[in-house]
């Protein structure tokens, strides 16, 4: 039966006994128990998570089209790269730290602090009068967003059993998809009226989410609620992996700086790019060595100790690269090859953006029904390969019905995988690793997004430079060489009428040739991901919620406050 699953094996056994859980699951099948009714607190908390998913994704998407206007108004052309990427740096590097803080201090306090950082950063960014103030605001925003990214996954996993998580993650991610679709359009509109509302808009939405968290999110703080002596602040701080974070954070900053500045501020062959990349890479290796020997690691080695979790992390990285490459270069196609405005390119991109969120929700529902994630993973990379293969056919004469259809197929690949990777990661891990595994997942996903721009951009620029000789205009060649093709694309709609039609057709042809290499790259990565799925095992997904951080009902909360004892909800042994 499709709604049956294998009998689950307690997740803690695999880690505590040093065995690979994948080799020992029971083959006995049983239907999943009926889902417990969701309480008012559950839905209030989940709505808050969805609001935070929406606004954190909107903040990333909305700034892209408005950034040139913002930079021009406050005079930050020389600091453009830092204005654009300070948020990325600040949101990426603290994510493993937030995972450990969620284990030590519970979920509620870190998420409140994260939202507060995001609110403060938004206020500073909206009121910025110079580049330094804007960079500071974006950096503070980024720290808050990094915490939000991690804690959204963690709290969602605390709300429902493993088998149901794909469904609710899909619903939550759908809000991110709506934001990603609305962002460029809304950002362009606000940039023309008052760009400061791009930041101020975050305040009421985050404020509403914060009120919902304070009112509805009454959760247990984990093991510390059972042992009074563990509630001591110094005891908790001693368990923090300070050394690991002191190694990890600077190493990641070095790598990200190299990736961000490479080919923009300095050529890739410059020592100013090579040195931070090498130092960051060495630091990353040292970090993982340190994690293997420390008592309280922020990224435990056991997260990668079974092949299903390890492969699912690899698939997370690959799928992030693919979705970012499509999201970054499809607008370039519309603007440069189809000669649309930035606003129109955002509208044309809607089939991919909206399709992704629809298929993410569908995949989560299917996973909850069947309990099988491997067919969804395989289907996702198959559709992604077909989608990128069809993208190689795109050119200036491609009809609208064709590129809409191509986008929908590719969006199916991006969406089906989105909500069903984290449950696969957790299938081979105990519930006690929810926070650390979610933090690692969130960081790898973010890291994949960065590489999803960096690698294709390198290939695109090199291919474009090699084909520049096909354009019979030295003036246009100078305007397009060495990465300038990106900014040129946004102005193509206006420049087209001032260029000879024959010459312009050559410009479009070079864009098409350069983009085609990106689509072939996406096809290759998709095929590689498909074969990686074969390494995974179809582990059973737990049907019962076993967590020390779940929502307390009113009776249990009142009992705890009256000193009558805290009801434990721990995995059975």
> Residue 292 domain-assigned?
no
Lowest mean pLDDT among 20-29, 394-403, 498-507: 20-29
The pLDDT assigned to 221 comes to 67
> Residue 27 domain-assigned?
no
The pLDDT assigned to 571 comes to 40
The pLDDT assigned to 452 comes to 87
Q: Which CATH number does the domain housing residue 527 bear?
A: 1.20.1250.20
Q: Which residue has the higher pLDDT, 487 or 8?
A: 487
228-265 pLDDT, tens per residue?
455 666 777 778 888 988 999 899 889 888 887 877 77
Query: Does one domain contain both 308 and 203?
Result: no
Q: Which residue has the higher pLDDT, 29 or 418?
A: 418
Q: Which residues contact 472 (CB under 8 A, 6 or more apart)?
A: 503, 506
306-364 pLDDT, tens per residue?
899 999 999 999 999 999 899 889 988 998 899 888 778 878 888 998 888 889 889 98
> Residue 261 domain-assigned?
no
538-555 pLDDT, tens per residue?
888 888 777 767 666 655
Is residue 567 pLDDT above 80, yes or no? no
> Residue 284 domain-assigned?
no
The pLDDT assigned to 520 comes to 96
377-415 pLDDT, tens per residue?
999 999 999 999 999 999 989 999 999 999 999 999 999
SS3 of the chain: helix, strand, coil, percent, to 5: 75, 0, 25
Q: Of 183, 205, 220, which one is at a domain's C-terminal end?
A: 220
By the 8 A CB rule, do 26 and 311 touch? no
Q: Of 220, 244, 274, which one is at a domain's C-terminal end?
A: 220
State the burial class of residue 194 (Cβ atoms within 10 Å of its Cβ: 0-12, 13-18, 19+). exposed
> Residue 19 domain-assigned?
no
Query: Does one domain contain both 510 and 364?
Result: yes
Query: Does one domain contain both 330 and 213?
Result: no
pLDDT band at 73; cut points 50, 70, 90: confident
Residue 331, domain extent: 299-541
Overall average pLDDT of the 272-298 stretch: 90
Cα 49 from Cα 216, distance rounded (Å)? 11
> Residue 286 domain-assigned?
no
Query: Does one domain contain both 50 and 163?
Result: yes
Count of domains for the chain: 2
Q: Of 173, 197, 220, which one is at a domain's C-terminal end?
A: 220
302-320 pLDDT, tens per residue?
888 889 999 999 999 999 9
Query: Does one domain contain both 307 and 446?
Result: yes
pLDDT band at 572; cut points 50, 70, 90: very low
DSSP assignment of 215-265, as one string?
HH--B--GGGGT-GGGG-HHHHHHTS-HHHHHHHHHHHHHHHHHHHHBTTT
Is residue 175 pLDDT above 90, yes or no? no
The pLDDT assigned to 383 comes to 97
Overall average pLDDT of the 422-449 stretch: 88
> Residue 419 domain-assigned?
yes
Cα 311 from Cα 307, distance rounded (Å)? 6
> Residue 143 domain-assigned?
yes
194-208 pLDDT, tens per residue?
888 889 988 998 888
Query: Does one domain contain both 184 and 314?
Result: no
């Amino acid at each position: 039966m499709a709604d049956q699953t294998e009998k689950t094996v307690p997740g803690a056994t695999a880690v505590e006994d040093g065995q690979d859980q994948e080799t020992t699951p029971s083959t006995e099948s049983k239907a999943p128990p009926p889902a417990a009714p969701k309480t008012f607190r559950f839905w209030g908390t989940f709505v808050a998570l969805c609001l935070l998913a929406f606004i954190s994704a909107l903040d990333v998407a909305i700034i892209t089209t408005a950034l040139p206007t913002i930079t021009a108004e406050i005079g930050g052309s020389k600091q453009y790269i830092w204005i654009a990427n300070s948020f990325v740096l600040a949101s990426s590097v603290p994510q493993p730290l937030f995972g450990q803080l969620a284990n030590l201090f519970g979920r509620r306090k870190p998420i409140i602090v994260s939202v507060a950082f995001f609110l403060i950063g938004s206020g500073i960014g909206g009121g910025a009068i110079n580049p330094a103030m804007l960079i500071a605001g974006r950096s503070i925003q980024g720290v808050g967003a990094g915490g939000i990214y991690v804690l959204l996954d963690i709290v969602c996993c605390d709300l429902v059993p493993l088998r149901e998580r794909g469904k609710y993650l899909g619903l939550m991610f759908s809000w991110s998809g709506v934001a990603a679709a609305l962002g460029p359009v809304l950002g362009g509109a606000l940039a023309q009226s008052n760009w400061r509302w791009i930041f101020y808009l975050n305040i009421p939405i985050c404020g509403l989410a914060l009120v919902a968290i304070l009112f509805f999110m009454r959760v247990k703080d984990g093991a510390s609620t059972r042992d009074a002596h563990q509630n001591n602040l110094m005891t908790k701080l001693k368990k923090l992996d300070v050394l690991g974070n002191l190694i990890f954070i600077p190493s990641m900053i070095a790598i990200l700086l190299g990736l961000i500045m490479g080919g923009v501020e300095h050529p890739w062959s410059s020592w100013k790019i090579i040195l931070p990349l090498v130092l960051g890479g060495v630091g990353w290796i040292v970090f993982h060595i340190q994690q293997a020997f420390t008592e309280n690691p922020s990224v435990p080695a056991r997260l990668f100790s079974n092949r299903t979790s390890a492969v699912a992390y690899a698939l997370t990285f690959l799928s992030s690269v693919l979705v970012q490459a499509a999201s970054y270069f499809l607008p370039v196609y519309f603007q440069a090859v189809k000669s649309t405005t930035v606003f129109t390119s955002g509208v044309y991109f809607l089939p991919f953006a909206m399709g992704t969120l629809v298929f993410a929700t569908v995949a989560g529902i299917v996973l909850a029904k069947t309990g099988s994630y491997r067919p969804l993973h395989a289907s996702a990379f198959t559709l992604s390969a077909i989608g990128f293969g069809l993208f190689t056919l795109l050119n200036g004469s491609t009809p609208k019905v064709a590129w809409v259809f191509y986008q929908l197929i590719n969006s199916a690949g991006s969406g089906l995988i989105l909500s069903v990777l984290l449950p696969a990661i957790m299938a081979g891990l105990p519930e006690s690793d929810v926070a650390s595994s979610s933090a690692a997942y969130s960081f790898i996903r973010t890291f994949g997004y960065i590489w999803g721009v960096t690698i294709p951009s390198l290939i695109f620029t090199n291919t474009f430079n090699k084909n520049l000789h096909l354009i019979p205009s030295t003036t246009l060649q100078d305007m397009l060489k060495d990465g300038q093709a990106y900014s040129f694309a946004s102005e193509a709609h206006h420049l087209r009428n001032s260029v000879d039609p024959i010459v312009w057709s050559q410009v479009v042809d070079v864009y098409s040739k350069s983009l085609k290499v990106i689509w072939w790259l996406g096809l290759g990565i998709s095929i590689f991901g498909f074969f990686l799925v074969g390494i995974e095992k179809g582990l059973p997904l737990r049907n019962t919620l076993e967590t020390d951080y779940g929502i307390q009902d009113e009776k249990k909360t009142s009992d705890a406050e009256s000193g009558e004892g805290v009801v434990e909800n721990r995995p059975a042994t």
